[in-house]
Amino acid sequence: MSDAESSLAAVVGRNCKRIRNELGMTQSELAVSARHFGLRWRASVVADFESGRSSPTFATVLTLTLTLQRAALDRGSTQGVSLVDLVSVEHDGLVELTGALQVWGSELAGLCNGEVVTIGPGLGEYSPEPPAGTLTPQDQRLLFVHALAGGMEIEEELGVTFEDMQAAGVEPQQLAAMLQRSSVTEDRLVSQLRVKPAELALASFRLWQRNFSEERDLRAGPDANQQKKGRISRELRAELESELSHGDD
């Protein structure tokens, strides 16, 4: 497992610890609350769970969600705790579900929210790595930055023409600057939507005059939790998909 990936047990464990601390509970207090819901937990079991050393069943995760919901209500919380809170991933990293399947945190959150999630051509075939011999999104982005900034004629490789940029009211240097500000979030979208970095940047400019991650953070606000960020990310992705589809008409 790479540094960019986490097991589902590790993700749920980290979130359990974060939520418990936010509620002001000790591991012993959480264990007592969990026993009321039928989990045979002690403080040491909570410690193993939060460290990702255990492999919880789905029933255990659901029971923990109910336990934390009750604890939140008892402490006067108005937000509560949901299953999405337990599977949320900071910065939307990869989560390993099986040895052959990793999904992005936003996709996992959408799945828990009842959404239909398409992760690739087939469950057994999905891989976050690009085919051998191809440029990674990061490498493509660097190539396009240099090409756009220098006015080079590589429109086929860019995926957009200078006429496309003119029609959108964006200068090549502006698009290059957007690509330079792009992050792993944009690189992931390039792979998921099967577009080129410059195509994604141009569609984002037409919609918001800024990158996907910049628009997400602006809409979410500085104090947004992962659940809100995930919801906004899904809304923005739908806008992007519509814009890219419209651009192909």
Q: For residue range 65-119, what is the model confidence (pLDDT) as tens digits?
A: 999 999 999 888 777 788 888 888 766 667 888 766 777 777 787 778 777 665 5
Place of tokens 């690739």: 120
Dihedrals phi, psi of 124, to nearest 5 degrees: -75, -15
Q: What is the pLDDT of residue 33?
A: 94
Q: How large a percentage of the chain has pLDDT more than 70?
A: 76
Tell whether 75 is covered by a domain. Answer: yes
Tell whether 183 is covered by a domain. Answer: yes
Dihedrals phi, psi of 20, to nearest 5 degrees: -60, -45
**DSSP helix/strand/coil, 81:** coil
Tell whether 56 is covered by a domain. Answer: yes
Dihedrals phi, psi of 182, to nearest 5 degrees: -65, 155
Q: What is the pLDDT of residue 161?
A: 76
Q: Which two structure tokens, joined as six digits, stand for 245? A: 């589809």
Q: What is the pLDDT of residue 249?
A: 47
- Region 40-54 average pLDDT: 93
Q: What is the pLDDT of residue 123?
A: 37
Tell whether 164 is covered by a domain. Answer: yes
Dihedrals phi, psi of 104, to nearest 5 degrees: -75, 150
Tell whether 131 is covered by a domain. Answer: no
Q: Look up the domain containing 194 and give its range.
A: 137-247
151 and 212 inside one domain = yes
Strands (E), 23-178: 94-98, 101-104
Strand order in the sheet with 94-98: 5-7, 94-98, 101-104
- Region 35-56 average pLDDT: 92
Mean pLDDT of the chain: 79
Place of tokens 């792993």: 184
The span from the CA of 39 to the CA of 249, in Å, is 55
Of 45, 79, 112, the position where a domain reaches its end is 112
Tell whether 126 is covered by a domain. Answer: no
Q: Is the pLDDT of residue 144 over 80?
A: no
15 and 99 inside one domain = yes
94 and 156 inside one domain = no
Number of domains in the chain: 2
Label residue 7 left, alpha or beta by phi (over 0 means left) and psi (-120 to 50 means alpha). Answer: beta
The span from the CA of 248 to the CA of 241, in Å, is 11
- Region 170-194 average pLDDT: 81
108 and 143 inside one domain = no
Q: How large a percentage of the chain has pLDDT more than 90?
A: 28
CATH of residue 95: 1.10.260.40
93 and 165 inside one domain = no
Q: What is the pLDDT of residue 153?
A: 53
Q: Which two structure tokens, joined as six digits, stand for 28? A: 């012993």
Place of tokens 């919609």: 207
232 and 145 inside one domain = yes
Tell whether 229 is covered by a domain. Answer: yes
Q: Is the pLDDT of residue 181 over 70?
A: yes
- Region 47-71 average pLDDT: 92
The residue among 22, 21, 11, 24 whose CA lies nearest residue 51 is: 11
Q: Is the pLDDT of residue 148 over 50?
A: yes
